[in-house]
């Protein structure tokens, strides 16, 4: 009787996990697809936007692309197209913002990496970056192996494997098989949790892009603070904290300062 109670608990928990991930699988980028999965009406907007882009009507194309975002849908391919449309209009801040958002969802895509690198060459600000701790660098490389949605799917599928191994542990006639299934299930569960943590870490982004031609960072969150350094449109910064209408940022070289919040946009 105890085995069946445990089995029922596992099944109910699995159903809950699947329901929580259903929306993210639908709305986020799949690394093997060439355009987002959308309802027919949104797909029509996407086709119209692509047509306008190919006709050189970049501003109109952006309007249709962003209508899709207003529907609550996103994908790396969509952000990539928006970035291209803004880049064609010489709107460097908006272009880099959308390339960065595309990269966040699918860091392994070669086209996204190429265009983002190209746009970065036009940024006025250049920094000597502070070397990262090697484990942070290694973790960053691990995250960039797959698109955010792929991490989510791997986490979900590996959890299904854990459930199968749990059934094997409960009902296998051999003690040896039960022991093997238990230890394998532990390792697979650890992998599943790791995939989910990586997915969540990618989604919770704390970087931003400067959205004004010139931005002055100050020593304190008010206009009376002393000027520290100047930033230019398109520069990527790390958000540390916010206070009223001010945000404390950090540069790649480690310098920190306060800027007006409306002058930057979170990636």
Structure tokens at 56: 């050189």
Task: Say if residues 230 and 215 touch (Cβ distance below 8 Å).
Answer: yes
pLDDT tens for each residue of the chain, 267 residues long:
444 444 444 444 444 333 333 333 224 333 333 454 445 677 888 899 999 999 999 999 999 999 999 888 889 999 999 999 999 999 999 999 999 999 988 988 999 999 999 999 999 888 766 666 777 778 888 887 888 888 989 999 999 999 999 998 888 888 888 999 999 999 999 999 999 998 887 777 689 999 999 999 999 999 899 999 999 999 999 999 999 999 999 998 889 999 999 999 998
Task: Give the Cα-Cα-Cα angle 48, 53, 57 (nearest 5 degrees).
Answer: 100
Q: Report the C-alpha gap between 30 and 261 in whole angstroms.
A: 32
> What SS3 state is found at 231?
strand
Rounded to the nearest angstrom, the gap between the alpha carbon of residue 259 and the centroid of all alpha carbons in its chain is 24
In the chain, helix, strand, coil percent, each to 5? 60, 15, 25
b/e 162-187 (16+ beta carbons within 10 angstroms → b): bbebbbbbeebeeeeeeeebeeebee
Which domains, ranges and CATH numbers included, belong to the chain? 2-26+147-203 (no CATH), 29-120 (1.25.40.10), 207-266 (2.30.30.40)
Sheet bearing 264-266, strands edge to edge = 227-232, 214-218, 256-260, 246-250, 236-243, 207-210, 264-266
> What SS3 state is found at 106?
coil
Q: CB-based contacts of 198: which residues, under 8 Å, 6+ apart?
A: 142, 143, 151
Structure tokens at 45: 């907007």
Closest listed residue to residue 75, CA positions, set 25, 36, 21, 32: 36
Structure tokens at 243: 């206070």
């Amino acid at each position: 009787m105890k085995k069946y109670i445990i089995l029922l608990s596992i099944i109910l928990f699995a159903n809950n996990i699947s329901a929580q991930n259903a929306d993210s699988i639908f709305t986020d980028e799949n690394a093997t697809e060439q355009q987002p999965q959308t309802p027919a009406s949104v797909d029509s907007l996407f086709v119209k936007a692509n047509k306008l882009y190919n006709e050189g009507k970049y501003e109109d194309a952006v309007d249709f692309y962003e209508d899709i975002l207003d529907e609550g849908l996103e994908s790396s391919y969509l952000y990539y197209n928006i970035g291209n449309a803004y880049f064609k209009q010489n709107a460097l801040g908006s272009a880099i913002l959308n390339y960065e958002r595309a990269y966040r969802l699918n860091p392994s895509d070669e086209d996204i990496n190429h265009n983002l690198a190209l746009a970065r060459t036009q940024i006025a600000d250049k920094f000597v970056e502070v070397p990262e701790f090697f484990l942070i660098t290694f973790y960053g490389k691990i995250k960039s192996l797959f698109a955010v949605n792929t991490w989510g799917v791997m986490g979900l599928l590996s959890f299904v494997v854990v459930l199968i191994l749990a059934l094997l542990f409960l009902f296998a006639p051999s003690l040896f098989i039960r022991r093997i299934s238990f230890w394998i299930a532990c390792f697979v569960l650890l992998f599943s949790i790791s995939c989910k943590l990586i997915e969540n870490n990618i989604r919770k982004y704390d970087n931003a892009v400067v959205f004004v031609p010139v931005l002055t960072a100050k020593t304190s969150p008010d206009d009376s603070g002393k000027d520290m350094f100047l930033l230019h449109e398109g520069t990527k910064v790390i958000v540390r904290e916010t206070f009223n209408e001010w945000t404390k940022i950090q540069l790649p070289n480690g310098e920190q300062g306060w800027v007006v919040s409306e002058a930057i946009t979170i990636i």
